[in-house]
Amino acid sequence: MKNLAGLMKQASQMQAKMEEMQGKLETLEVQGSAGAGLVTITLSGKGDLRRISLDPKLADPAEMEMLQDLIVAAHAEAKRHLEERTADEMQKVTGGLNLPPGMKLPF
């Protein structure tokens, strides 16, 4: 029974750390860019698109397809940065606890 009480205490502490991490994610912003900085995307810590910055040189109607591709590439880079930052924060919260493959926190 003593181990169960300790386990419950650890679970409670981890929950508090998870809540703290989620609060940090609310204020976190990550950026991704493409085309040597011609397109920049900013995402919130939750993955919501906050801003798109486009170089005025890209406003040429003949270049719209390239512009669309650059926006998609910048978003993918920003999303990758967000996943890396989230994984780093989770590592801090779980204290190196190796979760089974496919299991992600927060659920």
CA distances in angstroms from 57 to 17, 28, 31, 78, listed in the order given: 45, 29, 20, 22
Range of the domain at 43: 28-89
Largest CA distance in the chain: 71
Q: Which two tokens stand for residue 38?
A: 């011609």
Count of the separate structural domains present in the chain: 1
- pLDDT value at residue 104: 57
**Residue 98: pLDDT above 60?**
yes
CA distances in angstroms from 89 to 4, 35, 42, 65, listed in the order given: 27, 29, 19, 37
Quick check: is 61 in a domain? yes
CATH classification at residue 68: 3.30.1310.10
**Residue 107: pLDDT above 50?**
no
- State pLDDT tens for residues 13-66: 888 888 888 788 788 888 999 889 988 988 888 888 888 888 888 888 888 888
pTM assigned to the model: 0.56
